[in-house]
Amino acid sequence: MKQIAQYQNGNLELQEVARPVAPPGGILVRTTHSVISVGTEKMKVDQARMNLLQKARARPDQVRKVIETARNLGWRSALEKVRNRLETPTPLGYSAAGVVVEVHLENTRFRVGERVACAGAECAFHAEFLAVPDLLAAKIPDGVPSSDAAYSTLCAIALQAVRQVEPRIGDRVLVMGQGLVGLLVTQILGASGCRVMAVDLLETRRPFADAMGAEEIVILGKDDLTAAVRHWTEGFGVDAAVICTATQSNAPIEQAAEALRDRGRMVDVGITKIELPWKLFYEKELDVRFSRSYGPGRYDPGYEWGGRDYPIGYVRWTEQRNMDACLHLMHARRLTPGRLTTRLTPFTQSIEVYRDLAADGSKDVGVVLIYDGSAKEASIEASTRGSNSSAPPLNSPAGRQLSKPIKELDVIGAGNFARTMLLPHLASAIQFGTVVNQTALSAQHVKSKFGFREAATDHRPLWSQTEHGAVLIATRHHLHASLVIEALQAGRHVFVEKPLCLSLEELSAIDQTLAVSQGSVQVGFNRRFAPASLRLKEVLESVAGPKTVTYRVNPGLLDPQHWYANHAESGGRVVGEACHFLDFFRFVLGVEPLEVMAHSVGGVGGRTPFPDSVACQIWFEDGSTAQLIYAAEGDSSYPKESVVASGSGFVAEIENFLTFTVYQRRRARPSKHQSKGHAEQMAAWAQFLRGAQCHPLPYAQSRRSMLLTFAVLESIRVGGMVRMDNLG
């Protein structure tokens, strides 16, 4: 691979070097974009071009190290050490973005194919591949261009400086220096509810400061800073000042101190000379702070390379969490570093860029290097930003037959469950289009095994490929709602594995989208399609009066390392698994629930921060009741799922959906079955897509089952009865 190398005589080369591997617990990233930190990197290059005397004056700390080496080992060894240092190339760069191509077996946060932002002067180089430890990378949200995400390290530096300010809404803050970091500080302060006065020496920085939200802009040498501050603050002075300059002059410190109000705060983030005039700082009792790079964890090898994260209860904002926060601000369009990009240049021309930056009068602020392979990501981002056209209004086909058969099915999420329980039952029923999976290798495997036309790692291009086709969604739970909404907006007929969504808010969003979509939604509530379930429903319908159904689930303890233990991804076991059994109750009883009482068994905490074992009682409109006992502590030799239903003159029992027995008139009538309903549900959906039958599970049914699921969660939360009519 190619990488920029800097020598201590100032020479820069684009060298061919060995491709790295993912570090322990980390990832290997194919770089798509990296940002040249104009101020910092230009300073490094300029220092490298100095003669030895100039270097000594610029870095007295290094001179002291040489003298200490000479004292201990002699001048010959010290000079040899200096010579080796001058001959050794060093990397440049510390803020980049790319795509994960390799994940170390100890890493659980990232997947191949994910876009990530990368940080660190020890790893996020200007190079085609980056070996990045776990805590120096952050996932890029959908919709955030990689060219913007590449600024994440610089944004985190700015955010950490703002955190040191401890801003309050309405504070007036002076930002001294409108270079790249100063401009980012300006915008983040604005996003925090502050009013900002931006100060710089260059008139060319005025439009950038204005674009980043500065309320007042002062150009030193042209404008009177003292008068501007007096007028802007009604004579009180600014509440805080952030020093983002790089100079050997003490003027910025003195000017900021004069501008501060009594007991104001000064935060230094730039590499600048600092001498504190005693009288001024004493009389105002000014608070002076330094902001160390991009947050807690920086310079701690145990954190950065050992992967030992700081407990969030003790250290709320680490450098990695600061990166996440910046990416979220970009997603919300409250942080827009792309506005600062003055040059987009191919990586192969990077040496020429550094020559231009070294020239006097360079006006560049943000310089982004583009690597081979980034064109695809850019086109995807552009298509995503431009794909918000509304779907044409049409009645939902739920409950009716399609007039025109669906010819092709796409699949998003091709994990083991989809490969074994869903796709085999559809392979001969419909033509497969594109399979999308986070892991490119898995997507390619599924394409070959099941005969898909294409394999991909990004689902977004699907929506423009096939008009009114079908899509099967079998991703992790937290993605279900957003993907269903996107598919419905594209007019797709959707099968989504349970659960449909993770919250009432997501359910409402799906309701609104479906109301104006040509598509339909079916949820993977396969238990209602199982042969044993159909037999039980027949028995219950043949007997008058209320019934009682008890469903006992013995799933085993949840492995804390399993993705189900990540509540943000799974929604927990009640939403992720118990929804199956709650839908089963509604199906076999054929009436709607009225009230729910539920409790977690053993409390919440310990292994998982959400209910792992649950007991609930449900009352139905006709007087029937249902009990769900979801007990994770049981012995694995007992059946995983067992159902007992009783009513007037009968008892019926299901065991693992393999046996069904009816006890009636003093006789036991057993029967054997082989399915939990996956094959039957897939066959019914395929028939619907061919236009051969009505929708097998209309959305209204799945929606009511999700409402019942959320009622169980609400009952656990409030510790009391919940009425269904209170949920909508």
The 10s digit of each residue's pLDDT in 16-62 is 988 999 999 999 999 999 999 887 765 655 555 555 555 455 556 66
Pairwise CA distance, residues 105 & 309, whole Å: 18
For residue 574, what pLDDT band results from cuts at 50, 70 and 90? Answer: confident
Please check the confidence at residue 188 and state whether its pLDDT lies above 70: yes
Determine which of 61-70, 589-598, 638-647 has the lowest per-residue pLDDT on average: 61-70
What pLDDT score was predicted for residue 398? 44
H-helix or E-strand containing 257?
Answer: helix 251-259
pLDDT band at 507 (very low <50, low <70, confident <90, very high): very high
Q: Is the pLDDT of residue 222 over 50?
A: yes
Q: What is the mean pLDDT of the chain?
A: 87
pLDDT band at 86 (very low <50, low <70, confident <90, very high): low
Local confidence band at 394 (pLDDT 50, 70, 90 cut-offs) = very low
Q: At what angle do helices 350-358 and 38-48 cross, to 10 degrees?
A: 80
By percentage, how much of the chain surpasses pLDDT 70?
A: 88
672 SS3 class:
strand
Specify whether the CB–CB gap between 367 and 342 falls below 8 A: yes
Higher pLDDT, 356 or 677: 677
**What percentage of the chain carries pLDDT values higher than 90?**
64
Domain range summary for the chain, segments of one domain joined by +: 2-51+84-150+301-379, 161-290, 408-523, 527-682+690-726
- Residue 238, pLDDT score: 97
CA distance 725 to 501: 20
Confidence class of residue 711 from pLDDT cuts 50, 70 and 90? very high
Residue 725: per-residue pLDDT: 80
**CATH tag for 161-290 (out of 3.40.1160.10, 3.40.720.10, 3.40.50.720, 3.20.20.10):** 3.40.50.720
pLDDT in tens, 266-279: 999 988 889 999 99
Give the model's pLDDT for residue 680: 94
pLDDT tens per residue, range 418-476: 888 999 999 889 999 999 988 787 888 889 899 999 998 889 899 887 666 899 999 99
Over 90: is that where the pLDDT of 318 sits? yes
Residue 251 to residue 271: CA distance in whole angstroms: 13
Task: Dump strand ranges (E) for 104-163.
Answer: 115-119, 129-132, 137-139
| Eight-class DSSP state of 575 | I
Whether 607 shows a pLDDT value over 50: the answer reads no
What pLDDT shows up at residue 605? 47
pLDDT in tens, 588-600: 999 999 999 999 8
Amino acid 322 reads N
pLDDT given at position 606: 46
Is there a contact between 191 and 329 (Cβ–Cβ < 8 Å)?
yes
Q: What is the pLDDT of residues 517-560, one digit of tens each?
A: 989 999 999 999 999 999 999 999 988 889 999 999 998 887 77
Q: State how far the Cα of 193 lies from the Cα of 185, in Å rounded to an integer.
A: 13
Whether residue 396 is predicted with pLDDT greater than 90 in this model: the reply is no
> Can you give the pLDDT at residue 565?
76
| Residue 10 clears pLDDT 50, i.e. is over it | yes
| Count of Cβ atoms closer than 10 Å to residue 309 Cβ | 15
CA-to-CA distance for 459 and 434, rounded, in angstroms?
Answer: 9
Contact present, 144 and 331 (Cβ < 8 Å): yes
Residue 492 predicted with pLDDT over 60: yes
Cα 226 to Cα 34, 220, 235: the distances in Å are: 39, 10, 10
Give the model's pLDDT for residue 655. 94
What gap in Å lies between CA 342 and CA 344, rounded to an integer? 7
The architecture of the domain spanning 2-51+84-150+301-379 is Alpha-Beta Complex (3.90)
Closest listed residue to residue 116, CA positions, set 681, 106, 103:
103
Residue 604 has pLDDT above 60, yes or no: no
pLDDT at 704 over 90: yes
408-412, strands of its sheet edge to edge:
454-456, 431-436, 408-412, 470-473, 493-496, 520-523
Q: Write out pLDDT tens, residues 107-164.
A: 889 999 999 999 999 999 999 999 999 999 999 999 999 999 999 999 999 999 999 9
For position 60, what pLDDT does the model report? 67
Question: Going by C-beta distance under 8 Å and a sequence separation of 6 or more, which residues neighbour residue 577?
Answer: 553, 555, 630
CATH, domain 527-682+690-726, list 3.40.30.10, 3.30.360.10, 3.30.420.40, 3.40.50.2300: 3.30.360.10
Instruction: Measure CA 381 to chain center.
Output: 16
Residue 384 pLDDT > 50, yes or no? no
Quickly state the pLDDT bin for 85 (edges 50, 70, 90): low
Query: In sequence order, what are the residues at sequence separation of 6 or more whose Cβ sits closer than 8 angstroms to the Cβ of residue 724?
Result: 592, 593, 594, 595, 596, 707, 708, 711
Domain 408-523 part of CATH 3.40.30.10: no
Give residue 63's pLDDT. Answer: 65
User: pLDDT band for position 379 (50/70/90)?
Assistant: very low
d(C-alpha 215, C-alpha 233), whole Å? 12
Q: Are strands 95-103 and 625-630 parallel, antiparallel or unpaired?
A: unpaired
Structure tokens given for 180: 């790249």
Angle at 593 between CA 588 and CA 594, to 5 degrees: 160
Average pLDDT in the 65-86 region? 65
> Is 408-523 in the same CATH topology as 161-290?
yes
What are 223-266's pLDDT values in tens digits? 999 999 999 999 999 999 999 998 889 999 999 999 999 999 99
